[in-house]
Structure 1
């Protein structure tokens, strides 16, 4: 057995149990205990934190180093990891969803062919029931988009807008953003010559083109998605003053459903809805004094809502 292959097998064995004696490792690897000791020394020179405990009950164990060491997975472990990550990426509110997409892209790129075929069998035989308000997202689509973002590579895909119109789009992906239980792609739209956001669940058949994206002045992808989700899609858009400093306003629900901007000791909130009365009720529930700056439609709806709350017992201050 070649030394490199033996080192990988030794590292894999150290991952599977808390402790191994030199004779146990020698038997598993088919070598002498002297070779095991030399291989342990080689792993240490490669910065793997292999520790040794003396005594009759001692042995070798893999310790905790400053960085995550390479993981050696067997077939069952690799398949379980990919299946689990696929459920995480298609989920509706996973806190580590972005990291799951990145990890899934790395694992699927190196899966052996026989495992890739088994994964296809698992996909074909399973169905997922959503547990939250989000929509299902194709993990394969996410992987292609994540790789294009990392490699800074142009892609083309079919996209269905909110009216249901389908079109072929040529994009330079910047970043994937997980917001409001959905995935969004921030990309430069080559056909429209502008930065746009795209709901990944509306994208189909993304394909890398092999052409590198140009260097461009990129926007903040999170702020672009926030604007696209909380303001731009709505018929009624409002600017509101929250009598809270920005640092405190960011801890309210206003940070999730609008764009915040510091204005002295107060905070300006830009938000939207399809109904002025609904928006007035939402604003009335914010935990601070609220002033509706514009438009008049929302200001009037807000005043009417507050009058109903106080029982219309008298005039309500502006």
Structure 2
């Protein structure tokens, strides 16, 4: 294989791994001049790849869908079948394969012509794949769009409907897509809240691309896993209450980390934190995480409030009573 062909294939691989590339960065990665990059782009166009270019200092190249499937050694029917199969696999959340499924789906759908993409959407809508357990229906179209934006570090506008049915428009920077249980979650930086948020993908109604590229924020895989775990474990609680602590919001959030999500400042010295549980014992456990020495009040509801008080009074009497002595 000639150096020219090898370089053109390397250029194609770069174009498939990111939505937009500045010409200077492509030249640096390939070890050639920008003029050589332009010639290699022309070769790809001759092969059927639609590579769009934008002039100027912030210009560059991006791979777009053309009028026919590029030479991937696939027929139209094979490409449609693969796209549908990848969509079904993504919504089924195959163990160990979610990331590979999404990246493959993103690469394939990026180059599908409009006519074939319409066939994929129509056929995928009629495919009723067997589901493993119960879970919400996730739109494979939205999942594919979110995967592309996450890969390309592109800001999005989302129309989101929360569990209470309240609709909101969110401007976000997507960082990770992750399955948990039978749900998909999008971890992103919410530009309006200036904080991390985790959204259920099945509650995202529309995805609007902005073509604005952002710089990825520092967050570890462990932190992503913890935030997705918190989001996936939240369900409506039998007991829901607030604790108002004698602690400013910033140190409270530092102490609780992502578990302090939902906390708000009452004033400069007090923070309100919502908590709950399936019963009063579980809710009491949440209150035990309030830092030592921090006084607080709570809206803990009756009759569970009385049950908790009676249990604590017995516990205090047991701690104040003489030691019963060693086991016989």
TM-aligned CA deviation for residue 213 of structure 1: 1.7
1:84 is aligned to 2:79: no
In the other structure, the counterpart of 1:184 is 185
Deviations 1:205-252 (A, max 9, x none): 111101112443336211111122336965579xxxxxxxxxxxxxxx
Alpha-carbon distance between aligned partners in 2 of 1:137 and 1:206, rounded to the nearest angstrom: 13
Cα deviation for residue 92 of structure 1 reads 5.3
Between 218-227 and 165-174, the greater mean CA deviation after superposition: 218-227
Return closer, same or farther for 1:184/1:130 CA change in 2, 3 Å cut-off: same
Query: Does 1:202 find its partner at 2:203?
Result: yes
Q: What residue is the counterpart of 1:116 in the other structure?
A: 117
Contact 1:178 1:184 in 2 (8 A): yes
Offset, 1:113 = 4.1
> 1:255 maps to which residue?
none
Equivalenced residue count is 195
C-alpha contact (below 8 Å) 2:175/2:216 kept by paired residues: no
Q: Is the 8 A contact 1:92 1:131 kept in 2?
A: no
Instruction: Give the structure 2 partner of residue 225 of structure 1.
Output: 228
Q: What is residue 137 of structure 1 aligned with on the other side? A: 138
CA distance in 1, matches of 2:104, 2:73: 15
Alpha-carbon distance between aligned partners in 2 of 1:175 and 1:101, rounded to the nearest angstrom: 11
Q: Which runs of 5+ in 1 are unaligned?
A: 9-69, 238-258, 260-271, 281-290, 302-316
Three-state SS of the structure 1 residue aligned to 2:92 is coil
Partner of 1:155: 156
CA contact (8 A) 1:92 1:132 kept: no
Alpha-carbon distance in structure 1 between the residues aligned to 2:165 and 2:183: 18
Counting only pairs closer than 5 Å after superposition, residues 251-262 of structure 1 correspond to structure 2 as: none
**Cα pair 1:231 1:273 within 8 Å, conserved:** no
Judge conservation of contact 1:154–1:208 (CA < 8 Å) in 2.
yes
Is the CA contact (8 Å cut-off) linking 1:148 and 1:154 kept in structure 2?
A: yes
Secondary structure in structure 2 of the residue aligned to 1:204: strand
Is the Cα–Cα contact under 8 Å of residues 137 and 183 in structure 1 kept in the other structure? yes
TM-score (norm 1): 0.51
Aligned-partner Cα distance in 2 for 1:176–1:228: 13
SS in 1 for 2:103: helix
How far apart, CA to CA, are the structure 2 residues paired with 1:192 and 1:86? Answer: 32
The CA RMSD over aligned residues, in Å, is 4.0
What TM-score does the superposition give when structure 2 sets the normalisation length?
A: 0.50
- Counterpart Cα distance in 2 of 1:191 and 1:148: 19
Pairwise CA distance, 1:114:
4.2
Matches within 5 A, 1:47-66: none
Q: CA deviation at 1:179?
A: 0.7
Which aligned segments of 4 or more residues in structure 1 are displaced greater than 4 angstroms? 231-237, 277-280
Partner of 2:30: none
Q: CA deviation at 1:84?
A: 0.9
